[in-house]
Amino acid sequence: MATPLAAVGHQIWAGALLLADYILSNPDAFSSGPVLELGAGMGLVSLVLAHVGSPAVFATDVDGEAGVLAGLQRNVAANEVVRVLACDLSEADAAPLHDTAPPAADPPSPFAWAASDHTLFTTSCTTLVASDIIYSDRLTFAFATHLPRYLRPTESGAPRQLYLALEPRVVFTVDQCAARAPARDFLFDTLEAVNADRAGWEPAAPPTGPFGPWARGFLSSVENLKREGYGRR
């Protein structure tokens, strides 16, 4: 059975289970400060972060017609540590990437970033987590090209790091007569191109899919991504 793209946030996927298990096995890595989860879905990982002692958790996802944020809010309502907030990675200035605190939402939204949320992220949040968020090349491209800004050091200069868990979703392609993981491969190709832009060297080939050939001027430098850390397995 196939899941419509708009409904993927209403399910718990294998990557979220793996990431939750990793957090439970390494609680000290996630309990020292605020944590931002991108694509929180139904909130499993955010709740596990709260369970291991994260003092504040930003559980973010798209505030769209599918009602993911409303479902997420219901799931975490009993937990005061988790804050449910809107974050649409397809936006050029996706929250909380604003250089200054965002203005009050008009019309008001319970999922809008407050000035205090923005301040906490920019000053104290050094850990980001995400799982199974590469369902389409468009979203994967947006995620990868936003990473340089998400991983900028905090205002005090503390480095940030991202924990990312993905399900390969291997398929057999007729044109190549081989098993491939196209969504994962597109992510790696895009990250390679982002890092190529940072280092000033050309990737072996431009990213496949609707966004190639690569537009060098679109990308910012990447501070905390290392090309060798994204090898295929």
Q: Who contacts 47 (Cβ-Cβ below 8 Å, separation ≥6)?
A: 75, 76, 79, 82
Distances (CA, A) of 111 to 36, 48, 93: 14, 21, 16
Per residue in 171-223, pLDDT tens? Answer: 777 776 777 778 888 888 888 888 777 666 444 444 444 333 333 333 333 33
Residue 140 in this model has a pLDDT that exceeds 90 = no
pLDDT at residue number 94: 77
43 vs 129: CA distance, rounded Å: 12
Query: Which CATH superfamily hosts domain 5-165?
Result: Vaccinia Virus protein VP39 (3.40.50.150)
Instruction: Report the predicted TM-score, pTM, of the whole model to 2 decimal places.
Output: 0.79
Give pLDDT tens digits for 49-91: 999 999 999 999 988 767 889 999 999 999 999 999 999 888 8
Give per-residue pLDDT as tens, 13-22: 889 999 999 9
* pLDDT at residue 160, rounded to an integer: 94
Give residue 7's pLDDT: 67
Tens digit of pLDDT for each residue in 30-41?
Answer: 999 999 999 999
Strands 57-61 and 35-38: parallel
User: Which pLDDT score is estimated for 192?
Assistant: 84
**Listed range (8-12, 150-154, 212-216) with the worst mean pLDDT:** 212-216
**pLDDT given at position 170:** 72
Question: Tell me, what's the pLDDT at 91?
Answer: 82
Rounded Cα distance between 189 and 231, Å, is 10
Q: Where in the chain is the domain with CATH 3.40.50.150?
A: 5-165
DSSP string, 25-91: H-GGGGSSS-EEEES-TTSHHHHHHHHTT-S-EEEEE--STT-HHHHHHHHHTT-SSEEEEE--TTS
Has residue 121 got a pLDDT over 60? yes
* Token pair recorded at residue 137: 């090349």
